[in-house]
Structure 1
Amino acid sequence: MKKIGITVIKSAGFFLGWVIIASILPLSSSEEPAVWRLWAEIMPLLAILVFTFIFWFVEKKQVKLHLLDHPVKGILLGTVTGVVWLAVPVWIMYMAKCIHFGGMNSIKWFSVWMLAAFLNVIMQELLVRGYLYQMLRQKHNIAAAAVVTTGIFTALHGWAFEAGIIPVFNVLTMSLLMTAVLEYSGSIIAPIVMHFLWNGIGALILGGVSLADDYPSLLITTFTGNELLSGGVCGIEGSVIVFIVNLVLAALFIFLNIRKKSEPK
């Protein structure tokens, strides 16, 4: 019980400390929306970096963070998996005539918006699958780490609870998928790349993934037809197709992890 109590205190301190610090850091006074958003993503990222290394040093560096391990493998695996992860449901929705593209928006400083989305992804992954995940995994087990961090990841996407059961299941299975990819790749790089492709292409280009309200989208996209397939107002992230793809990919990486661990060293 003492071990569990210490873990609860560490987890709460890490998460709540980040929430408090991130909420009091100054925002930009820029009137340029892209610059304002970039600054708004930099502040919580800096906060999680500081908390990560503070807690890491408190642990006397005994918790292995796996932040930069296997970079080439992580980038390649994250890119391939991320493209498949997004392309398959979009293609199925397009073939089912649930998704329609009707022109393009003109976006000022598009690259800055992309950078902001990238920094947001790094922040989320460090918060969920960085120190906290590795501490829970190494002090307890993978199951405990996956359950706790998936709960936090889902809480960060609170909009899903207002949107319905399918969006909630999609967020849950997205987190489990990226955790399985983290375990297979051996570093946080692959989940970061996957997550960025999902948000960067899915939101800023396709307009079918939920980010902060001020993020623009390049394409004018509409979702019609059966809401179970089209996702309704949630777009891609509200579609049952995404749920199925998440489950299939998660099962694949869980199988690959089991096979990798069973191989003689």
Structure 2
Amino acid sequence: MKKLISTILKTVIFFIGWAILISFTPDIPTNQALLRLWWEFTPLVSIVLFSVIFIYVIEKGKIKIPIASRFFKNSLIGVGIGVVWLGSVATVFILTKTMNIQSQNNIDYIWIWILASLLNVSMQELLVRGYLYQLWKHKYNVIVATILTTGLFTLMHGGAFEAGFIPVLNVVSMSIFITLLLEYTGTIVAPIIAHFIWNTVGAIIIGGVSLASDYPKLLNSTFRGHPLISGGTYKIEGSIIVLVINLILITVLFILNKRTVRPKL
């Protein structure tokens, strides 16, 4: 019971402390792209700061966030998973004529928007599958850590609850398969890259994934057909196709994890 209370307190203090810190982020007088970059930069710096404090001061180095493990190889795995993940969904949408690209927009400072998306994804992964995941895995096991962080990740995407049952399942299944990717590669880099491809290409390029409302989209895509397939007003993230692809990736990564033996962190 003492271990459980201690772990819960660390989790609450870590998350709430981070949330309080970023609430003091001031706006800066600049264009919208740089402002969005600033809004994504400060939460990332804050989570890095909190992670360093908790890992090296509170945990005294007993817990680590895996980053450098076979960096190049696992980066390529992250790219491959991200391309297969979004690519397979987009392919089904295009072949079934569920998604149609109507026109193209000009985006000023597109590379700044893409960098902002990368910072946002890095923050999310470090917040959910960084210190907190490793804490619960160290204190208990992978299953407990996965359940807790998946719950947190789902709450962070609270808009899915308004969208319906399928979008919630999509968020939950995504979190599980990304966690399995973390376990398979032994580094948080692969999850960051796969998540980045989904968000950046899915939202900024084809406009089918939801990010903050000020993010632009390069292509104007329309989604039609039965809402169960097209996702309705929620587009890709509301589609059962995403759920099917997520479940396939979960199955594949689960099998790969069972076949791979890695030393504990």
Q: With structure 2 as the length reference, what TM-score do the two structures score?
A: 0.97
Where in structure 1 do 4 or more consecutive aligned residues deviate above 2 Å?
Answer: none
Q: What are the superposed Cα offsets for residues 116-152 of structure 1, whole Å, 9 maximum, x if unpaired?
A: 0000000000001111101110111001110111111
Q: CA deviation at 1:70?
A: 1.8
How many Å separate the matches in 2 of 1:28 and 1:179? 35
Q: State the partner residue of 1:98.
A: 98
Give the secondary-structure state (helix, strand or coil) at the position aligned to 1:222.
strand
The aligned amino acid for 1:45 is L
How many Å separate the matches in 2 of 1:218 and 1:99? 15
Equivalent residues of 1:28, 1:40 under 8 A apart: no
Listed as ranges, the gaps of 5+ residues in structure 1 are none
Alignment of 1:246-265 (within 5 A): 246-261=246-261
Q: CA deviation at 1:261?
A: 2.8
Give the secondary-structure state (helix, strand or coil) at the position aligned to 1:106.
coil
Give the length in aligned residue pairs. 261
Q: State the partner residue of 1:158.
A: 158
Percent sequence identity over aligned pairs: 47
Give the secondary-structure state (helix, strand or coil) at the position aligned to 1:221.
strand
Give the secondary-structure state (helix, strand or coil) at the position aligned to 2:101.
strand
Q: CA deviation at 1:29?
A: 2.2
Give the secondary-structure state (helix, strand or coil) at the position aligned to 1:62.
coil
Listed as ranges, the gaps of 5+ residues in structure 2 are none
The aligned amino acid for 2:195 is H
Q: What are the superposed Cα offsets for residues 173-198 of structure 1, whole Å, 9 maximum, x if unpaired?
A: 00001000000000000000000000
The aligned amino acid for 1:26 is P
How many Å separate the matches in 2 of 1:133 and 1:67? 14
Q: With structure 1 as the length reference, what TM-score do the two structures score?
A: 0.97
How many Å separate the matches in 2 of 1:70 and 1:121? 21
How many Å separate the matches in 2 of 1:49 and 1:29? 25
The aligned amino acid for 1:48 is I
Q: State the partner residue of 2:36.
A: 37
Do residues 207 (structure 1) and 210 (structure 2) align? no
Q: CA deviation at 1:170?
A: 0.3
How many Å separate the matches in 1 of 2:23 and 2:69? 31
How many Å separate the matches in 1 of 2:193 and 2:64? 20
Q: What are the superposed Cα offsets for residues 88-114 of structure 1, whole Å, 9 maximum, x if unpaired?
A: 111111111111100101110000000
Over the aligned positions, Cα root-mean-square deviation in angstroms equals: 1.0
Q: State the partner residue of 1:53.
A: 52
